[in-house]
Structure 1
Amino acid sequence: MDSPWVIDNTNILLRLVLSLVLGGIIGWERERSNHAAGLRTHILVCMGSSLIMLLSVYGFSDFVDEVNVRIDPARLATAVITGIGFLGAGTILFTGKSITGLTTAASIWVVGAIGLAVGAGFYFAAVVSTLLIIVNLVVFNKLEQRYIRGSKMHLISVHAANAPGLLDGLSDMLNNKGFVIKKLIVNERSSVPYGEAQPAVPGLEISLHVLTDRKFDPVDLTKQIRELGGVTMVTAE
């Protein structure tokens, strides 16, 4: 009977190539969606996890028969999961209004799990998991955007002259469009016309964090805010 602690080079090559393919499938979807971790990152994570699993299971086969040596194939695998957690954290961004990158961080983590499965020889589980992940990232994403669209936070910044009634007009316009103002910051700011020896012009800098479950059109919103009196600059994201 063949030893469970020994593997030939053909099987090693097969597992590494399979990890490259499965990790590349998920990475291609992330790359196509223009996320921080894309094709090459997912391939490297999957192949690295598979290689470490191969090393953990088969790399110390020469010491299996030693009296004082205990072989634990899962020991290196647990370290992989911990290490991938730090890598996934690098894709999570807090922009001041929302947190992005959680799905990509999760995809890196699950690609590491797929690599471990391939390295351990669980081909069926690895392939099926890859297919289900693609269904989740592609199909469920479209269903979520179309039928389960939740409220999202947006940041609107307005620079304007100190015009009376501007804040009331801005608030009424946003409420009529279905926006809920969650946070409002108003700063007084003065600006000096460029190249002109004139006193500073008093003005306002208004930052609004708004919540809406409707389609967000920054171009249309910017046009409407520009129509309010005294507005000199608008940003919407």
Structure 2
Amino acid sequence: MITYQIELLILAKVIAAFLFGAVIGYDREKHGQDAGIRTYAAVCIGAAVFTSLAAHLGDVAAASRNVANIVMGVGFLGAGIITRNDAENNSFGLTTAATIWCTAAVGVTVGLNEFILAAGTTVVLYFLLSLDHQRWYQDWKQRIAKKRKLNIDYLGEIDF
């Protein structure tokens, strides 16, 4: 039986999960990506609620199965996000899928009362997402692309 005190604790976790998920989604929203604050916050909140409820059942095996199912379920969500353009041989949505999966992990850590780990993971994910908009990172990617092009020109069709 879940008391109103436990419900209030879970509600506090929902608010924390919202904040962590919103921070992660902020960079995506700021740069016009399809998945933004609402998507990331919803994934984080959902994972936190499911984990919190399972953790308060008192059955460790059930709680661990619940976490495993969150990992799998969000993995399927991510698989639906990834698209492939066969004409150009490119895939899209990989970063979104991966970071949504990681955001679910943040929600799970909130649900398990691991707030320091959740906060640290949120900071790392935000930094990771912001890398693509950093000048030094763009310069580094261009140097790698030039080296890759030189390998193609020198070795023909082989790309390393």
TM over 0.5: yes
Matched with 1:17 is 15
Alpha-carbon shift at residue 47 of structure 1 (Å): 0.3
* 1:137 is aligned to 2:129: yes
Runs of 4+ in 1 over 6 A off after TM superposition: none
Is contact 1:51-1:119 (8 Å) kept? yes
* 1:122 is aligned to 2:114: yes
Q: Using CA pairs below 8 Å that are at least 6 residues apart, which structure has the higher relative contact order?
A: 2
Residues 149-199 of structure 1: CA deviation (Å, up to 9, x unaligned): 2439xxxxxxxxxxxxxxxxxxxxxxxxx9xx97xxxxxxxxxxxxxxxxx
Matched with 1:45 is 43
- The structure richer in helix per residue is 2
Structure 2 segments unaligned to the other structure (5+ residues): 147-152
Residue identity opposite 2:103 in structure 1:
V
Matched with 2:67 is 77
Matched with 2:145 is 151
Q: State how far apart, in whole Å, the 1-side matches of 2:116 and 2:49 are.
A: 18
Structure 1 segments unaligned to the other structure (5+ residues): 65-69, 153-177, 183-237
The aligned length equals 144
Alpha-carbon shift at residue 136 of structure 1 (Å): 1.2
Q: State how far apart, in whole Å, the 1-side matches of 2:45 and 2:76 are.
A: 17
Which of 25, 29, 32 is the matching residue for 1:31? 29
After TM superposition, the structure 1 = structure 2 runs for residues 44-193 of structure 1, keeping only pairs within 5 Å, are 44-58=42-56, 60-61=57-58, 71-95=61-85, 96-97=87-88, 98-139=90-131, 141-142=133-134, 143-149=136-142, 150-151=144-145
Is contact 1:36-1:91 (8 Å) kept? no
Task: Note the aligned Cα RMSD (angstroms).
Answer: 2.6
Alpha-carbon shift at residue 91 of structure 1 (Å): 2.0
Residue identity opposite 1:43 in structure 2:
A
Q: State how far apart, in whole Å, the 1-side matches of 2:138 and 2:82 are.
A: 21
Query: Against the structure 1 CA distance between its residues 151 and 94, is the aligned structure 2 distance closer, same or farther, given a 3 Å change threshold?
Result: farther
Q: State how far apart, in whole Å, the 2-side matches of 1:18 and 1:29 are.
A: 18
Residues 89-117 of structure 1: CA deviation (Å, up to 9, x unaligned): 22212123211211111110000000000
Q: Secondary structure at the match of 2:63?
A: coil
Percent of paired sites with the same residue? 29
Query: Against the structure 1 CA distance between its residues 91 and 144, is the aligned structure 2 distance closer, same or farther, given a 3 Å change threshold?
Result: farther
Is contact 1:37-1:91 (8 Å) kept? no
Alpha-carbon shift at residue 148 of structure 1 (Å): 2.5
- The structure richer in strand per residue is 1
- What is the TM-score of this pair, normalised by structure 1? 0.54
Return the index of the structure with the highest Cα Rg: 1
- What is the TM-score of this pair, normalised by structure 2? 0.78
